[in-house]
Structure 1
Amino acid sequence: MMQRFIPLGNGYSDIYELMYIGRAMPERVRHMLVLHPFDENNPEASLALVMKPTNPGNFQPIYICLEGVPIPSKRYDLWRELADELQHDVIELTVSPSGKFSDQEIFFQHLIGILRTNHYLPRLQRSF
């Protein structure tokens, strides 16, 4: 299975696109995340939708608005309201900030490792 983050922006107006994706495909939403950076200089969180894998294709997208949502804020409240609407719990995790990584893809691989460790993503499956 291929798991990949799909960044939409920093959570300003693009949060509405993230919410639209959740409303358009509620049956595919597996988890709704709030990722708090462990950084006192950047208290803004990331919001993410972990989708169920596609069939066929076995591709699992994770749509994310990266480190741009203040907590508390109206945007955070909208996210919580969407979770209630879709009947999902909001999973909140504290993670390293993206600025600690030299490349965004390395940061996303770090997040995938955290999500796998916490069983929010299935473990890596190799096909030989």
Structure 2
Amino acid sequence: MTQRFIKLGDGYGDVYELITLVESMPERVHQLLAFHTIKNDEEKTSIAAVFNPTEKGNFQPIYICLEGIPKPEGNTSNVRYDAFKELSEQINKPIIELVVPPSDTYHELELYYQQLIAVLRLNHIIRS
């Protein structure tokens, strides 16, 4: 099976594009993910949605908004992450949270994505 990250961006509107994708195809959603990291001395979160593989081609997309959300802290409100949490409740899929290194520790973004895919496979969040 081929798994690939598809970066939607890291800005405000990109989070809502991810939410719209999930809302339009909730039956295809396999997992919702939050990757927490520290980048430039700031705690950041990437949110992602793993979709079930396509029937033809056996391709599994993982849509991601990369390191664009401040990490949610206790009672501190975070509108974008709160919207993702509401989506999680709406489609009855819990958010799997992982602490990962920042993307800029890798020379190429593709290497970072390969590392994340390996971590997801090792934790049986996705299958190979």
TM-score normalised by the shorter chain: which range applies?
over 0.9
| CA distance in 1: counterparts of 2:38 and 2:10, whole angstroms | 17
| CA distance in 2: counterparts of 1:11 and 1:63, whole angstroms | 14
Q: Give the aligned CA root-mean-square deviation in angstroms.
A: 1.2
Which structure 1 segments of 5+ residues have no match? 124-128
Aligned residues: 123
Among residues 94, 97, 101, which one is paired with 2:106 in the alignment? 101
Q: Which 4+ stretches in 1 moved above 3 angstroms?
A: none
Residue of structure 2 in register with 1:7 after alignment = 7
Residue of structure 2 in register with 1:36 after alignment = 36
Residue of structure 2 in register with 1:67 after alignment = 67
Trace 1:49-128 onto structure 2 (pairs within 5 A). Answer: 49-72=49-72, 73-123=78-128
| CA distance in 1: counterparts of 2:118 and 2:42, whole angstroms | 22
AA of the residue aligned to 1:112:
I
Residue of structure 2 in register with 1:47 after alignment = 47
After TM superposition, give the deviation of residue 38 of structure 1 in Å. 4.7
Q: Percent identity?
A: 47
For the residue of structure 1 that corresponds to 2:13, the secondary structure is coil
| CA distance in 2: counterparts of 1:25 and 1:101, whole angstroms | 32
For residues 25-46 of structure 1, the C-alpha deviation after alignment (integer angstroms, 9 at most, x for no partner) is: 1000000000001557131100
Q: TM-score, normalised by structure 2?
A: 0.92
Residue of structure 2 in register with 1:22 after alignment = 22
